[in-house]
């Protein structure tokens, strides 16, 4: 007969952390959020890949493109470039993040010398960039012929039809650097020659990248940035269980540091076969996570199949309607607690620690701390990151409010049947995700800093200076419906706020 789990399926909203003893060392500046990204054996100093913050971005069209890859790596996390696109396009996104070597920026503003001032103005309006590389073919890899900055033209005194070749700064009047130069050497040239931008050229004169003066301060302000051994940003990519024989080699060639099987339900032979194929061809050199699961049985299946991390969560995402459509899933808190227990038991039995990722169910920032306290090594976030400038979706003004578009991978818009399709005719397909808007929130950096400040502050309240210590020391209590009301503002008349109020 069916197995019945009598414990209710619970969400993060049903729990609170109880404060513990805080020593004088418990200050936010002393808290480390470093966490393992892939499995490791007992006794090893550290895993092959770790993150400096416990955040990854979801494998979604509306969340994880190349801009998210760079921005999240700068903060110390990892973006997983979305898989619901042709192999070539996904591999190019990964390559763009890897080419965006910390401090070395691949030019995304490029024109030919036979184009016009109007083309310069149009490009500036689209990209917001005032530095434009002029190459023989108008691409970022073309032979550099010159450069145009806002100092090279005056709109009021020049015709829009003026050819770029007549007012650009030609290559023979420019100071450049050679490919292979260190960032420190490039910055010295910038400062010594009072330059705002230094083009880096290959041996045959083709444009490799730029180093910008403004990025010097940015580099210094990102102490947690996540880099590989070649000082390139670390980035992940999603794969599926259909075309992995073509997709995995392309992503590995493009430089992806870690892969993740993107599926609404991971306790399946399809995932085991995918992992087996990768291990047979790449051994343990290619790191790959799997999921999603919601119980101990699913975790152990994927751990034994060779997953480097296991993702938890079915139906808990804000745009996911899998539970509504199919009646499958589990409250995210219950799932994390159960899988974390299985992870620890597996570690005791085998000496292999397989990190777990909580994917979905995060509504408030404090839910992040709860997920970590319950045993998650890191989080995967969709709605949270979709709100920022760096997500690929459009920013719109709806009824006077700025929003960003956000849609699920199981929605008709994504048409990601490699993730959800289990057969049947095309006319009988149904959606497992919705198309929606989320409030626009600005830059990733500012929002992540604030969210993680709350996490660190709460950890200090629990007497913990690391995620591992939080999981050991945390005291977690269930809350009643009445106490949830008590936790917000109540029994007062809130003041109306206005932009005109001072």
**What does the pLDDT look like over 219-268, one tens digit per residue?**
667 889 999 988 889 999 999 999 999 999 999 999 999 999 998 889 99
The closest alpha carbon to 370, from 78, 26, 56, 10, belongs to 10
**What is residue 491's predicted lDDT score, i.e. its pLDDT?**
74
Mean pLDDT check: name the lowest of 110-114, 169-173, 193-197, 240-244.
193-197
**What is residue 500's predicted lDDT score, i.e. its pLDDT?**
43
Q: Residue 436: which pLDDT band, with cuts at 50, 70 and 90?
A: confident
**What is residue 378's predicted lDDT score, i.e. its pLDDT?**
98
Mean pLDDT check: name the lowest of 82-91, 188-197, 290-299, 433-442.
433-442
Q: For the residues 194-218, what does the mean pLDDT come to?
A: 84
**What is residue 431's predicted lDDT score, i.e. its pLDDT?**
56
CA 114 to each of CA 3, 161, 162: distance values in angstroms, whole numbers, following the listed order: 72, 10, 9
pLDDT at 490 > cutoff 60? yes
Neighbours of 220 (CB within 10 A): 8
Question: Could you please report the per-residue DSSP string of 298-365?
Answer: HHHHHHHHT-SSEEE-SS-STTB-HHHHH-----HHHHHHHHHHHHHHHHHHHSEE--EEEES---SH
Q: Residue 487: which pLDDT band, with cuts at 50, 70 and 90?
A: confident
**What is residue 319's predicted lDDT score, i.e. its pLDDT?**
65
Contact by Cβ (8 Å): 392, 69: no
Q: Residue 492: which pLDDT band, with cuts at 50, 70 and 90?
A: confident
**What is residue 419's predicted lDDT score, i.e. its pLDDT?**
53
Contact by Cβ (8 Å): 474, 459: no
Mean pLDDT check: name the lowest of 38-42, 97-101, 281-285, 339-343.
97-101
Q: What residues have CB less than 8 Å from 259, skipping those under 6 apart? A: 236, 237, 238, 239, 248, 251, 278, 286, 287, 288, 289
Mean pLDDT check: name the lowest of 183-187, 206-210, 260-264, 484-488.
484-488
Q: Which of 26, 232, 247, 320 is catalytic?
A: 320
Active site (annotated) includes residue 357: no
**Which contiguous run of DSSP H or E holds residue 188?**
helix 183-192
Q: Which of 99, 232, 383, 419 is catalytic?
A: 419
pLDDT at 192 > cutoff 50? yes
Distance separating alpha carbons of residues 76 and 287, to the nearest angstrom: 18
Q: Residue 488: which pLDDT band, with cuts at 50, 70 and 90?
A: confident
Q: For the residues 387-394, what does the mean pLDDT come to?
A: 93
**What is residue 417's predicted lDDT score, i.e. its pLDDT?**
47
pLDDT at 111 > cutoff 90? yes
**What is residue 501's predicted lDDT score, i.e. its pLDDT?**
37
Distance separating alpha carbons of residues 35 and 76, to the nearest angstrom: 10
Q: What percent of the chain has pLDDT over 90?
A: 69
Question: Could you please report the per-residue DSSP string of 373-421?
Answer: HTT-SEEEESHHHHTBTTSSSPEEEETTEEEEEEE-TTSTTTT-HHHH-
> pTM for this structure?
0.80
Give residue-wise pLDDT tens across range 285-341. 999 999 999 999 999 999 999 999 999 999 777 666 666 677 788 999 999 999 999
CA 129 to each of CA 72, 109, 124, 149, 150: distance values in angstroms, whole numbers, following the listed order: 21, 7, 5, 9, 10
**What is residue 459's predicted lDDT score, i.e. its pLDDT?**
98
Mean pLDDT check: name the lowest of 66-80, 436-450, 471-485.
471-485
Mean pLDDT check: name the lowest of 13-22, 184-193, 414-423.
414-423
Active site (annotated) includes residue 320: yes
**What is residue 212's predicted lDDT score, i.e. its pLDDT?**
85
pLDDT at 428 > cutoff 50? no
Q: For the residues 78-95, what does the mean pLDDT come to?
A: 96
**What is residue 502's predicted lDDT score, i.e. its pLDDT?**
38
Q: For the residues 118-133, what does the mean pLDDT come to?
A: 87
pLDDT at 273 > cutoff 50? yes
Average pLDDT, the chain: 89
Contact by Cβ (8 Å): 75, 222: yes
pLDDT at 424 > cutoff 60? no
């Amino acid at each position: 007969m069916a197995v019945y789990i009598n414990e209710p399926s619970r969400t993060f909203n049903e729990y609170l952390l109880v404060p513990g003893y805080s020593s004088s060392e418990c200050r936010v500046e002393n808290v480390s959020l470093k966490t393992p990204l892939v499995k490791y054996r007992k006794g090893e100093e550290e895993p092959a890949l770790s993150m400096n913050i416990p955040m990854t971005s979801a494998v979604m069209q509306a969340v994880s493109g190349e801009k998210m890859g760079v921005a999240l790596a700068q903060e110390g996390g990892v973006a997983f470039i979305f898989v619901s696109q042709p192999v070539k396009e996904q591999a190019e996104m990964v390559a763009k993040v890897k080419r965006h070597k910390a401090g070395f920026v691949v030019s995304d503003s490029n024109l030919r010398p036979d184009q016009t001032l109007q083309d310069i103005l149009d490009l500036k309006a689209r990209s917001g960039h005032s530095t434009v590389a002029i190459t023989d073919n108008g691409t970022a890899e073309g032979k550099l012929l010159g450069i145009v900055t806002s100092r090279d033209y005056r709109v009021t005194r020049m015709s829009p039809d003026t050819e770029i070749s007549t007012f650009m700064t030609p290559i023979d009047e420019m100071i450049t650097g050679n490919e292979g130069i260190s960032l420190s050497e490039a910055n010295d040239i910038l400062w010594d020659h009072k330059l705002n931008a230094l083009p880096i050229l290959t041996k045959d004169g083709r444009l490799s990248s730029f180093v910008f003066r403004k990025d010097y301060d940015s580099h210094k302000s990102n102490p947690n940035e996540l880099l590989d051994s070649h000082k390139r940003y670390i980035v992940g990519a999603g794969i599926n269980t259909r075309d992995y024989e073509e997709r995995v080699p392309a992503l590995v060639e493009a430089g992806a540091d870690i892969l993740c099987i993107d599926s609404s339900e991971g306790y399946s032979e399809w995932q085991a076969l995918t992992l087996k194929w990768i291990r047979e061809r790449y051994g343990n050199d290619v790191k790959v996570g799997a999921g999603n699961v919601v119980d101990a049985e699913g975790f152990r299946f994927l751990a034994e199949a060779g997953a480097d991390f296991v993702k938890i969560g079915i139906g808990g995402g804000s745009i996911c309607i899998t539970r509504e459509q199919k009646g499958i899933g589990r409250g995210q808190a219950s799932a994390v607690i159960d899988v974390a227990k299985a992870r620890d038991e597996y570690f005791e039995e085998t000496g292999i620690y397989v990190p777990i990722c909580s994917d979905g169910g995060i509504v408030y920032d404090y839910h992040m701390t709860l997920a970590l306290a319950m045993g998650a090594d890191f989080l995967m976030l969709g709605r949270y990151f979709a709100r920022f400038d760096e997500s690929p979706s459009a920013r719109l003004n709806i009824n006077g409010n700025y929003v960003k578009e956000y849609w699920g991978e199981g929605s008709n818009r994504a048409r990601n049947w490699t993730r959800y399709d289990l057969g049947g005719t095309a006319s009988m397909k149904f959606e497992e995700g919705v198309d929606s808007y989320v409030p626009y929130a600005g830059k990733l950096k500012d929002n992540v800093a604030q969210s993680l400040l709350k996490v660190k502050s709460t950890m200090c309240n629990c007497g913990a200076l690391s995620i591992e210590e939080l999981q050991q020391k945390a005291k977690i209590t269930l809350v009643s419906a009445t106490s949830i009301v008590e936790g917000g503002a109540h029994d007062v008349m809130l003041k109306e706020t206005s932009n005109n109020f001072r």
